[in-house]
């Protein structure tokens, strides 16, 4: 390994040489470390922490397995096949009594219609709308508090926003249901009193503190030297904020956004109470009522007998929601890494 690097270093450009140099002290340190004997309790503590970390992963894996175990029999069970065709879960079908192929969620009836697409459309609609509201608000708040607000203001506003995170979602849901919905209908003239917009506002109230807290942390931890250097070069305050601090804090802010997204798509109580829960297949009109995946599971799981096709489909929804969150989380993480690489490289 060392030889290869040395070899390459001989006729490689400066960048490679740089890498070789950084390798050396690391090797030296590890050699030094191995000549000491680590105290026993250090090793015990290290192992314990490792086990704890692995427990989290094991828990997630187990949860996934147990949820999937309830859903998967749908692929071979005769009872399920009698009532539902797997492809009807995802594709539009022209049911008896309808003029055209439709995506429809009507789990009670003859025949029961379990199309999951309107539910996912509902979930994504509410989540996206909530993100559109809370991302600018959360980041804006964070920048104001971290960079502009006088001490007195900061000490009132910051805990107040963080307190918002502590409000139980059922309370926010109730607020959205009773107060926000009437206000929104009077103001915007919605046909549906309970709709995606109302639910999204309720959701945004829970996500803003998440994004705010993390973004504010990220902005605070941008090295003072960067701001000072920019100021010394004659940059105005807003230029420092927008062109120095914001880019430097971007990976942290992005992490906050990813976390907020996860919170939004998984939130149940607010959407259950404030979205009207009508499974309407409508992509672009945000003033219609929506039924989200989480609300569907919460509302219907209590009703079904175990092992029933309806039960299996609800668990399938759980698995799919899990998968969606997982994938989005990984994508978010990759994006954060890319950002970081770009920032540290330049």
Partner 1 sequence: MTKAYQNRSVFLILVAALAVSSCTSGKSRGGGEGSEAATRTSSTLTIKGSDTMVILAQTWAQAFMDANPGKVLQVSGGGSGTGVAALINGTADLANASRPVKDKERKQLTKRRGVEAQEFRVALDSLAVYVPAANKIEALTIPQLKKIFRGQTTNWKDVGGEDRPIVLYSRENNSGTYAYFKEHVLDNEDFAATAQTLPGTAAVINAVSKDAGGIGYGGIAYSEGVRTVMVAPADGDPVEPTMENATSGKYPLSRFLNIYSAGEPSGIAKEYLDFVLSAEGQKVVEGVGYYPLPKEATAAAE
Min dist CB 7 to partner 1, Å, is 31
Residue (of 157, 150, 143) closest to 214 by Cα position: 143
Min dist CB 282 to partner 1, Å, is 9
Min dist CB 214 to partner 1, Å, is 6
- Are 220 and 207 contacting, i.e. CB atoms less than 8 angstroms apart? no
Q: How far apart are CA 89 and CA 121, in angstroms?
A: 14
Q: How far apart are CA 304 and CA 75, in angstroms?
A: 19
Q: Closest CB to partner 1 among 6 and 59?
A: 59
Q: Closest CB to partner 1 among 6 and 65?
A: 65
Q: Closest CB to partner 1 among 231 and 259?
A: 259
| C-alpha distance across the termini of the chain, in Å | 28
Residue 133, H or E segment: helix 117-143
Q: Closest CB to partner 1 among 304 and 320?
A: 304
CB atoms within 10 A of CB 192: 19
Min dist CB 205 to partner 1, Å, is 17
* Structure token digits, residue 259: 């976390």
Q: Closest CB to partner 1 among 118 and 202?
A: 118
Beta-bridged to residue 114, according to DSSP, are 105
Distant-in-sequence, close-in-space partners of 185: CB < 8 Å, separation ≥ 6:
193
Phi, psi (rounded to 5 degrees) for 276: 85, -20
Q: How far apart are CA 236 and CA 245, in angstroms?
A: 12
Min dist CB 86 to partner 1, Å, is 21
Min dist CB 221 to partner 1, Å, is 7
Q: How far apart are CA 263 and CA 196, in angstroms?
A: 17
**Helix crossing, 309-345 with 40-71: angle to 10°?**
140
- List residues binding partner 1 (CB under 8 A): 56, 59-60, 63-64, 66-67, 70, 95, 97, 102, 104-110, 113, 118, 181-182, 185, 191-194, 214, 217-218, 221, 251-252, 255-256, 258-259, 262-263, 266, 272, 276-281, 288-289, 291, 297, 299-306, 308, 318, 322, 325, 329, 333, 336-337, 340
Min dist CB 277 to partner 1, Å, is 4
Strands (E), the chain: 105-106, 113-114
Q: Closest CB to partner 1 among 239 and 325?
A: 325
Q: Closest CB to partner 1 among 56 and 78?
A: 56
Q: Closest CB to partner 1 among 95 and 144?
A: 95
Q: Closest CB to partner 1 among 235 and 281?
A: 281
Q: Is 74 helix (H, G, I), strand (E, B) or coil?
A: helix
- Are 267 and 298 contacting, i.e. CB atoms less than 8 angstroms apart? no
Min dist CB 28 to partner 1, Å, is 24
Min dist CB 81 to partner 1, Å, is 16
Beta-bridged to residue 290, according to DSSP, are 276
Tokens 């705010």 correspond to 212
């Amino acid at each position: 390994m060392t030889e290869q690097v040395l070899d390459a270093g001989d006729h490689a450009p400066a960048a490679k040489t740089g890498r070789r140099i950084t390798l050396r002290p690391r090797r030296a340190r590890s050699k030094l470390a191995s000549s000491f004997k680590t105290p026993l309790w250090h090793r015990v503590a290290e192992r314990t922490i490792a086990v704890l970390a692995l427990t989290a992963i094991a828990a997630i894996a187990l949860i996934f397995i147990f949820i999937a175990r309830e859903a998967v029999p749908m692929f071979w069970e005769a009872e399920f096949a009698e009532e539902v065709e797997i492809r009807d879960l995802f594709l539009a079908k022209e049911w008896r009594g309808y003029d055209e192929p439709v995506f429809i969620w009507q789990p009670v009836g003859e025949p029961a219609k379990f199309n999951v697409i309107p539910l996912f459309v509902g979930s994504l609609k509410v989540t996206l709308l909530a993100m559109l509201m809370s991302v600018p608000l959360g980041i804006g708040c964070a920048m104001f508090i971290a960079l502009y607000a006088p001490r007195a203001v900061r000490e009132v506003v910051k805990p107040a926003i963080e307190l918002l995170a502590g409000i139980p979602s059922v309370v926010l849901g109730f607020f959205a249901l009773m107060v926000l919905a009437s206000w929104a209908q009077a103001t915007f003239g919605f046909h549906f009193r309970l709709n995606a917009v109302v639910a999204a506002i309720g959701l945004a109230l829970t996500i803003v503190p998440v994004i705010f807290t993390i973004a504010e942390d990220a902005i605070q931890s941008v090295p003072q030297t960067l701001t000072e250097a920019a100021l010394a070069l004659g940059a105005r305050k807003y230029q420092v904020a927008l062109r120095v601090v914001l880019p430097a804090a971007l990976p942290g802010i992005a992490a906050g956004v990813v976390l907020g997204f996860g919170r939004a798509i998984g939130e149940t109580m607010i959407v259950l109470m404030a979205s009207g829960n009508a499974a309407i297949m409508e992509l672009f009109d945000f003033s219609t009522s929506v039924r989200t995946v989480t609300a569907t599971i919460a509302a219907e799981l209590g009703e079904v007998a175990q092992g029933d096709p309806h039960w299996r489909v609800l668990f399938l929804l759980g698995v799919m929601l899990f998968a969606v969150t997982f994938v989005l989380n990984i994508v978010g993480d990759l994006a954060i890494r890319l950002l970081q690489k770009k920032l540290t490289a330049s």
